[in-house]
Each structure stands twice: as C-alpha cells, then as structure tokens.
C-alpha cells in the first residue's frame, strides 16, 4: 500500500536555552497525552478517584496462553520516506513495514508496561492503580492491594501471559536480564525495593520478589545500571525530601540533600558512567547529573540545569514517564519530556539541552540512522540526524496513523522491530512493526 508523506513541520536538533518561565500549561502539559494513552501520570500525576475495592479471591493459575488473538496474515506497507531539503535521503528511499497486531493486554489504565532490555518480556500493572501518594512515595502512601503485576513473553507469534504477582506491589521503573523491579509500601510507612525474577511457569508462587533494599526508610524510584548497580531515592519515614543512593558492587554511596533538595527518579546513562536525577527545592525543578563511583565523586561532580520554578514531584514524574529508564538513556544523553517545551529533549552535563522539536511525545531509537517518534498523534520514522548542511528535515514517514508509544524490540526474523503500545478499552493494544527496507 503506497502512501505519500507531506511535510507538516520542521525539526531542529540544535541546542536551545531553557526558557526563563514556564508556559501557562506548566507541569500539566504532558497529562492530556498520557490520559489519551490510558497510561502514565495524568492530571499532574493524580489518577482518577475510584473507591478501592477488596482484591478478588485468587484463582488457580492457568496454563500459558496467548493474551490476544493470533496475528493476522502479514501486511506490507510501502511508505515513501522523506529526504532532506538538499535532496540527500535521510533514510531509505522507500520504507516498507510489516504491521502485526498482537492483541489487547489488560492494564490499570494508568501505568505504562515495562519491557525487558532485550524486548522479549513485559510487565504490566493491572487492577486498581496506585493513588498519588503511593505513586510518588509521599507520606501517607499505602499498598495498592487491589492490583497485580502480570508478566508476558513477546515474540513474533503473539503475547503469552506467564503469570502474576500477589497484590500490594507497585511496578518499578527498570528491568534487567534477571527480572523487573517492584516497590512495596509497608504498613509501618517504609517502602522496599525488590526484583521479580523472569520465569515461564504460570504460578504466582514463582513471582515473589527478591528484596534488594529492605529497611525502615522510604526507598523509591529505583533503576538498574548496565553493570548490575542500583540507584534509588531514599528518605526517612518522617522526612519529605529524598537523598540519592547508589549501590555498586558491595558498597553504597549517598548524595545527601541535607533536607533542602530532594533527588528523585534517578537513572543511569547507557554505560553507567553518569547518573541522572530530578532535583527539587522550594518549587524549583532542575535536572541533575553526577559521577556515581563514590560519595565524594557524586558531591564534587554534581551538575544541575534549570527546568522550572513552578514544579513539584508530579512534574518530575511526568518528565520521565514517556521514555522510562530503558528508552530514556541514549549514549551519554538523558531523554525526557520537557514540560516547558512540550517535546522530548536530550540533555547531558557537557552538551546541555537539545530539544527534539515538533512536539515529540515519545521516541525510540531504531539504529544510528533512524528514530521512531510519536508526533502529532501518529508514529513516524525519521532520520536520527540533521543533514550535513544543518537544514531542517521533514517530519518523517507515518507508519501508524494512531496514538501509540514506540518501543524497540530488537530484531525479529532478521529485521528491526518495534512494539507499539496503543490505548484500548480496558488496557493497551499491542502491535509489532518490522522494518523491511
């Protein structure tokens, strides 16, 4: 099926200074998108008010079965790809894609599914979503008892449900080859961090967390590093601001906020040589970056960059939600949603801020030449760089005409593949897109 793509906007990746003050939309600018996707933090990170119901009695685990209908026969679309204004193609002269619906997966209508690094496993929060206090680890947090975390395996044939956890867990922000992070608000006001191991047996008993951080403090927003290191935010149960904690090997280092600054939603860059974080103090929100190798190194290397002077912890959460930690690290860069610019942006402590213009709401790198971008309510494939002359490029070739978050799956049947996560009644619709040429 041939389609022509007309340019709708221009796209510059040049560095742009931070604005002096936020737009009137302020911290809530990302909320309409996430509401439309039925995932993420909506309305400034406050989920719709729902009376909490008791958890339904646990049923015996069912055998493995596909989560949705079998994929339809292969459908190939020939999509002309854009070229630069100078006439030099930025991607192939014709983009051919194979689009395969995988079915619908139930979710809590609030939380984005979490993919493993290799794109072969997925964790999904189901049932009643965590309230704002639990989602943001605020005082008064409580375990979301009427919820579960379901695990799935993804391949070209479909999505297979493997099993689920018990209730009371909050899906974490990160995964590695061993499993998915979860967090557990405790009755005494503390909060633990655990990892649910990947497996294939459909039994809840096989999905009990291994507790990685288990003490009397509030431990939240954890992320795994490429070498098995762990970074997270920690506060005393009676405090409101978070210190930053890094565990590497057998040692743990702390970046203290001294009760003034709060360090939240940390993550590693691609090689683990830097950590990123959100920094809050008296309504001022900044990006932060530091060397995680030791406590002294973190203190001495900390670099901060201004984002907004009218923000809170929900703003910080909204900034990292569209990309997550898996797709939020691209080489040295942090990729995040900039609420003042209304688009995904890149940042590191050396090169500064480089927005991805055109209102990009989610981005996934395919390879060195191509990006998948949610832009204007459509998923597009566009070149990853400006042309040599630095001219603006066209917005890209549309591969999906609806709202969906793209996530890289790696290679399926020897072709680069994306998972598209689209809103659907009661959950999210999953589709695989293979790039054929």
pLDDT, tens digit, for every residue of 61-99? 444 445 554 444 334 444 443 333 333 333 444 788 999
> Residue 295: pLDDT above 60?
yes
User: Residue 352 falls within a domain, yes or no?
Assistant: no
Closest CA to 94 of 81, 106, 77: 81
How far apart CA 128 and CA 301 sit, in angstroms, is: 41
- Nearest Cα neighbor of 141 from 73, 220, 208, 86 is 220
- For residue 366, being part of any structural domain is answered with yes
Spacing of C-alpha 51 from chain mean position: 27
> Would you state the pLDDT for residue 190?
96
Is 310 inside a domain boundary? Answer: no
Q: What is the DSSP letter of 33?
A: H
Q: What is the mean pLDDT of residues 252-275?
A: 96
385 within domain boundaries = yes
The residue-averaged pLDDT of 334-354 equals 95
Q: Give the Cα separation of 336 and 344 in Å (integer).
A: 5
Taking residues 336-348, report their average pLDDT. 95
CB contact set of 202 (below 8 Å; sequence gap of 6+): 61, 62, 63, 64, 161, 162, 163
With respect to residue 287, please indicate whether it lies within any of the assigned structural domains.
no
Tokens of 8: 């709708």
pLDDT of residue 368: 87
Residue 7 lies in a domain: yes
- E strands along 22-136, which residues? 65-66, 76-80, 94-106, 114-115, 121-127
Q: What is the pLDDT of residue 65?
A: 46
The pLDDT score that the predictor gives to residue 209 is: 93
Q: Residues 6 or more apart from 436 whose CB is under 8 A from it?
A: 76, 96, 97, 98, 415
**109-140 tens-digit pLDDT:** 989 999 999 999 999 999 999 999 999 999 99
Quick check: is 44 in a domain? yes
Task: State the pLDDT at residue 249.
Answer: 85
Whether pLDDT at 408 is above 80: yes
Count of the separate structural domains present in the chain: 1
Among residues 207, 296, 202, 211, the alpha carbon closest in space to that of 255 is found at 296
**Backbone phi, then psi, for 48, in 5-degree steps?**
-60, 140
For range 312-324, the mean pLDDT: 96
Q: Is 218 helix (H, G, I), strand (E, B) or coil?
A: strand
Mean pLDDT of 281-309: 97
pLDDT digits (tens, 9 = 90+) for 409-429: 988 889 999 999 999 988 999
Q: What is the pLDDT of residues 219-231, one digit of tens each?
A: 999 999 988 899 9
Question: Residue 207: its pLDDT value, please?
Answer: 86
Range of the domain at 426: 1-51+62-109+359-437
Contact assessment for residue 179 and residue 228, using Cβ atoms and an 8 Å cutoff: no
**Within a domain: 4:** yes
Confidence of residue 322 (pLDDT cuts 50, 70, 90): very high
| H helices present in 257-308, as ranges | 295-301
| pTM of model > 0.85 | no
The DSSP bridge pattern shows strands 243-248 and 230-235 to be antiparallel
pLDDT in tens, 369-393: 899 999 989 999 988 764 444 344 5
User: CB-based contacts of 111: which residues, under 8 Å, 6+ apart?
Assistant: 39, 40, 124, 125, 129, 130, 171
Categorize the per-residue pLDDT at 12 as very low, low, confident or very high, splitting at 50, 70 and 90.
very low
Of the ranges 2-6, 18-22, 210-214, 425-429, which is most confident? 210-214
Q: Which residues pair with 309 in a beta bridge?
A: none
């Amino acid at each position: 099926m041939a389609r022509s793509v007309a340019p709708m906007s221009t796209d510059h990746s040049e560095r742009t200074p931070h604005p002096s003050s936020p737009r009137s939309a302020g911290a809530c600018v990302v909320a309409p998108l996430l509401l439309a996707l039925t995932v993420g933090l909506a309305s400034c990170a406050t989920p719709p008010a729902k009376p909490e119901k008791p958890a339904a009695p646990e049923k015996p685990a069912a055998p493995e079965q596909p989560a949705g209908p079998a994929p339809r026969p292969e459908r190939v679309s020939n999509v002309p790809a854009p070229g630069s204004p100078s006439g030099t193609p930025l991607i192939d002269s014709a983009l051919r894609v194979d689009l395969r619906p995988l079915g619908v997966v139930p979710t809590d209508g609030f939380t984005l599914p979490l993919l493993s690094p290799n794109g072969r496993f997925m964790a999904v929060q189901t049932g009643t979503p965590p309230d704002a206090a639990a989602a943001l680890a605020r005082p008064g947090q409580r375990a979301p008892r009427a919820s579960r975390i379901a695990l799935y395996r993804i391949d070209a044939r479909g999505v297979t449900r493997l099993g689920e956890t018990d209730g009371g867990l909050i899906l974490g922000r990160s995964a590695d080859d061993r499993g998915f992070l979860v967090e557990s608000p405790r009755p005494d006001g503390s909060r633990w961090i655990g990892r649910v191991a990947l497996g294939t047996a459909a039994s809840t008993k096989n999905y009990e967390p291994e507790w990685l951080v288990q003490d009397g403090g509030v431990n939240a927003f954890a992320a795994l590093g490429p070498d098995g290191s762990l970074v997270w935010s920690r506060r005393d149960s009676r405090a409101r601001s978070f210190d930053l904690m890094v565990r590497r090997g057998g040692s743990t280092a702390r970046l203290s906020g001294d009760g003034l600054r709060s360090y939240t939603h940390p993550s590693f860059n691609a090689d683990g040589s830097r950590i990123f974080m959100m920094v809050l103090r008296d309504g001022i929100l900044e990006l932060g970056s530091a060397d995680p190798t030791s406590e002294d190194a973190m203190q001495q290397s900390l670099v901060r960059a201004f984002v907004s002077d009218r923000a809170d912890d929900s703003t910080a959460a909204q900034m990292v939600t569209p990309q997550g930690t898996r797709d939020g690290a691209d080489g040295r860069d942090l990729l995040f949603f900039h609420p003042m610019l209304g688009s995904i942006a890149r940042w590191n402590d050396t090169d500064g801020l480089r927005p991805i213009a055109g209102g990009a709401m989610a981005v996934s790198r395919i390879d060195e030449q191509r990006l998948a971008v949610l832009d204007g309510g459509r998923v597009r494939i566009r070149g990853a760089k400006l042309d040599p002359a630095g001219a603006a490029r066209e917005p890209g070739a549309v591969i999906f005409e609806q709202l969906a978050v793209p996530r890289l799956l790696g290679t399926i049947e020897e072709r680069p593949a994306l998972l598209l996560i689209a809103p659907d009644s009661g959950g999210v619709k999953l589709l695989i897109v293979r790039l054929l040429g």
